[in-house]
Structure 1
Amino acid sequence: MNIEKLLNTIIEAGKMLVESGAEVNRVEETMVRMCRCFEGIEYADSYVTLTGIMFSLTYENKTITRICRVHTGEVDLNRIDQINTLSRRICSNPMSVDELAGELDRIKGMSRYTFKETMLFGAVGAAGFGIFFNGTLLEIVMSFFIGILIRCISCFLSKHKLNSFLNNAISAGSAALSAQLIHQVLPQTNVDIMVISSFMLLVPGLAITNAIRDTIAGDYVSGVARAADAFLCAVAIAVGAGFVMYFWI
């Protein structure tokens, strides 16, 4: 068995999980479980943070360790589910290292939502929050279109590798500006409802949830890192919207 390829493959699985938004405890457990399914592995352990992974295994009295840098990625719950399913399948039906690497490549190559699907469901989400906040039919419809605008801007900026802080700030500013322009054309609309409904698309709900889960699980470094990330996202939204509102008034 190619032990170095096994180590690299397990590291790649953990990296994909972290980049997809999985909580640290899940990543560590999945990596160790996958590694121990291979015959001859005497010891396996991992240490995962939001920005890096350290993994060590012992095979034939020889210990190998690798450190991997992790960069922030897009939330992909389907990828997390696929890798977790793969780890459970390995436990019941062992496979070779090459087969595991092939499965991970297949999962990595799976297409996410198309641009049109992203726009559509972003718009539906914004409209849904318009209903939640007791908006009128007109405000719900306007929130729908602002949701499309936010997703278009966010996807465009992400494609050009703009950092998440500026991405959220520009998206929030665009949403606030759109709501103000709509209010000028349709004075009966409520700016607050349209702005808040569309901003819910930018709120880092998964990051906040994982920050709480990691902290409760004792992974304080990752918990604080995720909380800081969520806080910066909230600040970016406030800066973008505040800039527009200040100069508009």
Structure 2
Amino acid sequence: MNKNNKIIHIAAEAGRIILQNGGETYRVEETMIKICYAFNVRQVNAIVIPTGIMISITDEKGEILSLIKRIHNRTINLEKISQVNSLSRAIAQSSLSLDYIENRLNTIDNMTSYNNKILILAASFVAGFFTLLFGGSIQDFFVALIIGAVIKIISCFLNRLNINEFFINSLGGAASALIALISVHLNIGQSKDKIIIGSIMLLVPGLVITNAIRDTIAGDLVSGVSRATEAFFIAIAIAIGTGIVIKFWFHFTGGIIQ
């Protein structure tokens, strides 16, 4: 692989890591362009959408190289984004070798996240404290702790099976509503609505909505609209799961909820 081929592959790989871990479209484009210009590429053009990267470079001889990367899976890992941003700044400020950058990107890409036990514990407390934030009682707090753990366990298990995100969010919403209704019915919890609202905050696509707004403001209309559509369908999935459970509960209990 010649130098220009390696440059474009490294730039695209850096962009992929950022995009795949929740980064904004403009950040991906800026990082790839910054890396290419650091190695004296004459011209760079990059187009990024939430599910793909397209980058083209022109070398000193006027030859054009293009590369397309398809993004299949996306998650949220802000630490990886921060590491790639730090690396891109270091590339611009000092002369790092292509081999070093490639190895560093591989290291960042293979960074291990928190294990499932910590994620489940964190999700449990997030749901509990959101419930308190929305005015729930201490009893509601402890119910939300259980719901948060259940939602995260379901999410981790189904993600291993590569289940569709729409189904995962629907099931998470259904689990939160069912446990909340049962807890109030058994006088364990006090406010079903606050428990449900606090618990489903784990599923609310806050980062997706934020990125949709930022991309739209930055002029990346395709990315902005697609991210907004994604957030809209996640909200629908949560509403469907929660609504179905509440509907069936009303049906089988005769519309009486303690």
- TM-score under structure 2 normalisation? 0.93
Q: What SS class does the counterpart of residue 42 from structure 2 fall into?
A: strand
Residue identity in the other structure for 2:54:
M
Q: Using a 3 Å threshold, how does the CA distance of structure 1 residues 132 and 98 change in structure 2: closer, same or farther?
A: same
Q: Decide which moves more: 209-218 or 63-72.
A: 63-72
1:226 aligned onto 2:243: no
Distance 1:180 1:156 in 2: 24
Q: CA deviation at 1:154?
A: 0.7
Q: CA deviation at 1:187?
A: 5.9
- Pairing 1:1-249 to 2, within 5 Å after superposition: 2-38=3-39, 40-61=40-61, 62-186=63-187, 189-249=190-250
Distance 1:131 1:190 in 2: 11
Q: Which runs of 4+ in 1 moved over 4 A?
A: none
Residue identity in the other structure for 1:176:
A
Q: After superposition, what is the alpha-carbon deviation per residue over 1:195-244, rounded to whole angstroms, capped at 9, x for unaligned?
A: 10000000000000000000011000000000000000000000001111
Distance 1:221 1:72 in 2: 19
Q: CA deviation at 1:60?
A: 2.8
Distance 1:233 1:23 in 2: 18
Q: What SS class does the counterpart of residue 134 from structure 1 fall into?
A: coil
Q: After superposition, what is the alpha-carbon deviation per residue over 1:53-106, rounded to whole angstroms, capped at 9, x for unaligned?
A: 110112232210111111231111111111001100111122111111100000
Distance 2:190 2:159 in 1: 31
Q: CA deviation at 1:4?
A: 1.1
Distance 1:128 1:153 in 2: 20
Distance 2:203 2:147 in 1: 12
Distance 2:36 2:118 in 1: 36
Q: What RMSD, in angstroms, separates the aligned Cα atoms of the two structures?
A: 1.1
Residue identity in the other structure for 2:172:
S
- In the alignment of these two chains, the number of paired residues is 248
Distance 2:85 2:52 in 1: 20
Distance 1:219 1:205 in 2: 19
Distance 1:85 1:188 in 2: 46
Q: After superposition, what is the alpha-carbon deviation per residue over 1:87-136, rounded to whole angstroms, capped at 9, x for unaligned?
A: 00111122111111100000011111110111111111111111111111
Distance 1:244 1:65 in 2: 50
Q: CA deviation at 1:2?
A: 2.2
Distance 1:197 1:66 in 2: 44
Gaps of 5+ in 2: 251-258
Q: CA deviation at 1:188?
A: 5.5
Residue identity in the other structure for 1:200:
M
Residue identity in the other structure for 1:170:
L
The answer to whether the Cα contact below 8 Å between 2:11 and 2:31 also exists between their aligned partners in 1 is no
Q: After superposition, what is the alpha-carbon deviation per residue over 1:38-63, rounded to whole angstroms, capped at 9, x for unaligned?
A: 1x411122111111111011223221
